[in-house]
Amino acid sequence: MKKTAIFYHPSFSRRSYLTIGNRLADFPAALVDLLKLPNVYMLECKPVSEDLLRKVHTENMIKEVRLHPFCSTADISAGGVVEATELIMKGEYTNAFCFIGCGGHHAGRNYFWGACCFNDVVLSIVNAREKFGDKLRFVILDTDAHHGDGTRELLTLMNDKRTLHLCLCDREWKSDDGTKYDFDVTWVYYNGDPDEQYLKIVDKALDIASRFKHDFFFWYFGFDTYKGDYGSLGLSREVFLEIARRIKRFTDDYSEGNLQVVLAGGSLRELATWLIPKVIKILALEE
């Protein structure tokens, strides 16, 4: 049976995200029905290893993260993401959804900002390659509203041509080797139906991914693009479910699952409570 893991820690619901309220306050209660499904499991995030942190970030940056009041959940946020990839690679789970207390994609080698502390996804890639082989190929699809500058910097410093980084943000750009892309999505806000335009760009990104022959797929899932939130593109709440369905179908077809959803930006508690359980349910359902 295909299994879905949820990585969660109670501190993610206690400590506020950004400075705007506490978006995860209704969890884990909002997962009760979902956890009745026979193939959905909840695991508690453990801290990331110190050794691994030092392979990705500088000593100075790690020290500053530990002192920063917004980064009190940094170690367990990254730890859950790293462990999820490991367990999927071992075949224990088909896919996973990772809650976080602070984000990752604005964390570079020696800096962090924008509610991000340690770069969860890059730490996870470095760890997985060490444990399961350095030829492993990854896709990162970043649908947070903002450019994933930290992730892009780290992948570039690592000269990582085996990771396809597809970032939906505010610029149009492609690397010479065709493994790093930015798609400008800001215009969807002003043109016709934002959902429809945004989904077309997601399809374009997935089409590029279909030729990459990946082993493992990260969806860096922000809902700050929702209408009225701080990165608004005028998107409806339903469009996130459609993106989830398309990515689930895509990874079932191209990598036998091996899909990890990592929570990113988005500040609205009501939306988080409505949306996240539905996204996890899409991961858990057999096609």
Binding residues for Zn ion (CB under 5 A): 144-147, 167, 169, 182, 222, 224, 265
CA 5 – CA 178 distance, rounded (Å): 32
Contact 209, 164 (CB under 8 A): yes
Instruction: List, edge to edge, every strand of the sheet that includes 4-8.
Output: 40-44, 4-8, 95-98, 259-263, 216-221, 138-142, 163-169, 180-184, 173-174
Least distance (Å) between residue 36 CB and Zn ion: 32
H or E element at residue 195: helix 194-209
Q: Hey, what are 184's tokens?
A: 């400008």
Least distance (Å) between residue 191 CB and Zn ion: 20
Q: Which is nearer to Zn ion, 185 or 284 (CB)?
A: 185
Least distance (Å) between residue 173 CB and Zn ion: 7
Q: Which is nearer to Zn ion, 33 or 173 (CB)?
A: 173
Q: Hey, what are 121's tokens?
A: 């996804």
Q: Which is nearer to Zn ion, 104 or 222 (CB)?
A: 222
Least distance (Å) between residue 226 CB and Zn ion: 11
Least distance (Å) between residue 265 CB and Zn ion: 3
> Could you give the angle at which helices 194-209 and 238-255 cross, rounded to 10 degrees?
10
CA 250 – CA 211 distance, rounded (Å): 12
Q: Which is nearer to Zn ion, 54 or 200 (CB)?
A: 200
Q: Which is nearer to Zn ion, 38 or 228 (CB)?
A: 228
